[in-house]
Copies of this chain bind each other. A is one copy, B any other.
Amino acid sequence: MTVLYFEDFALGQKFGSGWFAVDAAEIKSFAAEYDPEPFHLDEVAAAKNAVLRGLTASGWHTASITMRLLVESEFRPAGGIVGFSADEIRWPRPVRVGDELRVETEILHVRPSKSRPAYGIVKIRTTTFNQGNEPVQILVSNLLVERRSG
């Protein structure tokens, strides 16, 4: 897979990914460690939740799975994926047991870094889709990417 330097990125480029299958055991084990709420831990309690209506993955679990898909995707910036901020995260619908997720990443903006001359800043939108092609997460984030000349 080709490593991409700052100079290689341009507005509108898109990158795909493989798939990640979400099962109940992983939803519960992530939640037990990092987001121990009944609607992420237990099917019966989750079914009673009027908003979520059934076991759902923590939003931070979805964000973490998204990162895994991104790291293993065609999107391969020089120096690795070093995000320093996000402008937005939305979780428009829950991730449920049996969902299969993939990501699409689009380049929104590129600019040199003022404080780090050997780097540029690349703004990306990473949309996480389920098997029904419905977005489950939209993330706009800012990455430090090495310059070729750097």
Contact = CB atoms under 8 A, between A and B. Distances in A.
Nearest to A92: B84
A3 interface: no
Interface stretch (A7-15, A50-58, A120-128): A50-58
Interface string A85-98: 11111111000000
Interface residues of A, number: 41
B68 A34 contact: yes
A50 B37 CA distance: 38
Q: Is the interface of A mostly helix, strand, loop or mixed?
A: mixed
A72 B34 CA distance: 10
Nearest to A35: B67
6 contacts: A34-B65, A51-B79, A51-B119, A84-B90, A85-B88, A85-B89
Please give me the 10 A-B residue pairs with the lowest Cβ-Cβ distance, nearest first.
A34-B64, A86-B89, A85-B90, A37-B80, A60-B64, A34-B68, A35-B67, A60-B67, A60-B63, A34-B67
Given A85-B91, A86-B88, 18 more contacts: A30-B64, A34-B65, A34-B68, A35-B64, A37-B71, A37-B80, A39-B82, A50-B118, A51-B116, A51-B144, A52-B82, A60-B60, A60-B63, A60-B64, A84-B90, A86-B86, A86-B90, A89-B89
Interface of A: 30, 33-39, 49-52, 58-61, 63-65, 67-68, 71-72, 79-92, 116, 118-119, 144
